[in-house]
A and B are shown apart, each in its own frame.
Chain A
Amino acid sequence: MTWSELRAFSAIARREHQVFSRSSTFWAVVGLGAALGAWRASPPGTSAAMAAYQALQIIVLGVGVIAIMLAGSVATRDRRQGAAELVLAKPQGSAPLLVGARFAGMWLSMLAAAAIMLAAASLAQAGLGGAGWRPGPYLNALARAAAPLGLACALGLSLATLFHTALASGVAALYWVSIPLTRSYLPLVLDTTLSQHRLLATLLGAGALAVAAARYGRQVRGPRRGGARVAWAAGLLLAGAAAAAVAAALSGEDLLTRADPVLAAIASQAALPERPAPGFWLRGADGRLVGMTDFAGRPTVVAFWGPGSPPSARSLALLAQAQAEFADQGLVCIAVCLDRDAATLRPFAREVEGEMVMVWDRGRHFGDGMEWSDSPLAVAYDVERVPVLFVLDAQRRLVHKLEGEVSAEWLRQRISDVLAAP
């Protein structure tokens, strides 16, 4: 890209951003999302990591839908507002430059919406939640929102360019909404709502943009002069996305582990009273593997929690407190985060002080009740809802299973019992 093309690119992106960000739809979505995020961040004791996580969920789903719809209406917008012929009659440089700049402008608008919503959640959390404000989790959430929002814009833009109808963006938006509602049934490799498959999201997004550019080029220059190179690039990028999807599927990481024989075998080693509890190797927030055998011979509390359940996230403070109180007696507290995305753990881990061990396992749950989980460990421990705590003695035998929120005093008593036992 030459210097003058770069200047044109940024100027078009800026104008496109203005077209988007000044629309009433945009501000309605931002207002609604900000209010919802602030409301979710306002209960006393809400941590910054939790507030940011909740806001991220709203952004990815809500702003994602709007992104795909607004981007999907660009071609139809030009026609609806009568600007299409004015635009098409201009020489307008290369189609990839124009489509890319328009995409960049939309993406910028969506990121601005996300930033405003995160700022609202942050203010509510600091003012009402009052559990220690930090910028880190909010910046982390903004970075994690970038890929899915970019993908939504790219898909919307390409669908609209291909089909020239608002229906295309409607179908895409429906798909976007349907993902979280029908997760159990859709092949998980298509689950791009979270930033799990960055490579797939990037290739698919770039491929969609290249398709839009090729199509737009044909529209602008006529069918006989369509950009063959752009069409080739689109084909290669989409083939790459397909390959990434197949690789992800074959890796098994996203398959429903309910039907996984390995998971079935682990589940057969269920945690039973007076029997050694199932062991595990899982990655911590720093990426290192942590196993039960690292703490052999020490009484242990294994707690399952998930960011989708604020009460379970609050139990982390209780565990950290117990860890600090009983560390000199050899107690180890291990908090297992169940979530789709390993990156979720990091902001929460930064909020917990002390020696408590925090690890992540692939899992998912909705609200406070566990809908289902593809975490082998959660199945082995028969976890139906979070929070749930398992108190194990020094021989790793299960002594107590505590479901739901517990008081500090109650937990202290159970731990003391285990420590006092011969």
Chain B
Amino acid sequence: METEIRGLRKVYPGGVVALEGLDLDIPAGVFGLLGPNGSGKTTLMRILATLLEPTEGEAKVCGRDVRREKAAVREILGYMPQDFGFYPTLSAYETLDYFALLSGVSSPKERRARIEQALARVNLQEMAGRRVGTFSGGMKQRLGIAQALLNDPRVLIMDEPTSGLDPEERIRLRNLLAELAGDRVVILSTHIVSDVSSTADEMAILHRGRLLFSGKLGDILAPLRGRTWIIDLEEEELSRVRAEFFVTGVFRSATGLQVRVIAEDMPHPRGYPAEPTLDDAYVAAMKQEAQAGDVV
């Protein structure tokens, strides 16, 4: 496994438990880390990026311990945080040059080659001379990816890379992540289900610092096969169906409402079987967790 996490626990000062004994293996390819806000995704990303000390447990990135071998981990790591910015007075090229220097590339020739390669990868060559302060949100995200690629990392950690992007930018970024995966690990943390379903080979769902699921996309969908239904409803029937069945989504169609439901048998005369999606699986996992929490 490229990345191994064993018994990882993080308690912030004040007693807030962000991670509760996490065990996770992350293989090569795009790995989606899904969870609502506050589920511990960013804490996990920051621990893997050596920016945060775990309270207990261990994490190894390509065999390098994130606590004891910080510099060694950083050498093989590209990290794009959730919120980040650049020095607005520097151009894109100068910014990447600065980060390449911090990555330990002292030869000007090598820096130039790496910067040009990274800019080409994110399609920002034309903007190399422009000051970063004038960049749009999408361009900044792309520059954020470019800086993470400067050291040709074996592991790329992207914390909520698509947040704040318009649909076109989001699609472009997903394509880029898929391209980048190759034989490296791309750990993609997000609360947007479609980011994971469209790019990730494997995934994990985090909730309140605990792991709800880990595996391939097919594995999480398998239990829902034959149990996922779509029902065409009148508006007034919705509350009754909601109360009676496990609803994972409500959509408006030309004829009225369409409701996605998980049930063992056909739930409604106007229902018909449907292929489960990651949205269904995610909502189901969250609801089950919430119900379990209520019981506790």
Contact = CB atoms under 8 A, between A and B. Distances in A.
30 contacts: A4-B106, A4-B107, A11-B101, A15-B90, A15-B94, A19-B89, A19-B90, A81-B85, A81-B87, A81-B88, A82-B81, A83-B84, A83-B85, A85-B49, A85-B51, A86-B144, A87-B102, A88-B51, A89-B49, A89-B77, A89-B81, A90-B104, A91-B71, A92-B102, A92-B103, A98-B102, A221-B70, A222-B67, A222-B70, A225-B70
B147 interface: yes
Nearest to A80: B85
Given A7-B108, A225-B70, A89 B53 contact: no
Interface in A209-236: 220-223, 225
A23 interface: yes
Contact of A91 (B46, B84, B94, B103): B103
Interface in A69-111: 81-83, 85-93, 98
B98 A89 contact: no
A88 B99 CA distance: 10
Interface string B49-91: 1110100000000000001001100110101010111111110
Interface of A: 4-5, 7-8, 11-12, 15, 18-19, 22-23, 81-83, 85-93, 98, 220-223, 225
Contacts of A11: 97, 101, 106, 108
A15 B98 contact: yes
Nearest to A5: B106
A326 B61 CA distance: 88
B70 A86 contact: no
Nearest to B67: A222
A7 B102 contact: no
Contacts of B99: 86-87, 90
B106 A90 contact: no
A89 B45 CA distance: 11
Given A18-B90, A22-B89, A81-B88, A90 B51 contact: no
B87 A90 contact: no
A86 B104 contact: no
Contacts of A93: 102, 104
A289 to B, nearest CB: 53
A92 B104 contact: yes
A19 B51 contact: no
Interface in B145-176: 147, 151
A152 to B, nearest CB: 21
Contacts of A12: 98, 101-102
A72 B81 CA distance: 25
Nearest to A85: B81
Interface of B: 46, 49-51, 53, 67, 70-71, 74-75, 77, 79, 81, 83-90, 94, 97-99, 101-104, 106-108, 144, 147, 151
B65 to A, nearest CB: 11
Contact of A82 (B70, B84, B147): B84
A89 B88 contact: no
A392 to B, nearest CB: 61
Contacts of B151: 91
Nearest to B147: A86
Pick from B50, B75, B151 the residue with the most CB of A within 10 Å.
Answer: B50
B189 to A, nearest CB: 14
A90 B50 CA distance: 10
B79 A91 contact: no
A2 B87 CA distance: 28
B130 to A, nearest CB: 14
B33 to A, nearest CB: 17
B67 to A, nearest CB: 7
A88 B97 CA distance: 16
Nearest to B71: A91
Contacts of B97: 11, 15
Nearest to B159: A85
A105 to B, nearest CB: 10
B84 A86 contact: yes
Contacts of A222: 53, 67, 70
Nearest to A4: B106
Given A15-B94, A90-B74, A83 B106 contact: no
A18 B108 contact: no
A61 B71 CA distance: 41
B75 A91 contact: yes
Contact of A220 (B67, B70, B83): B70
Contacts of A22: 89-90
A43 B97 CA distance: 47
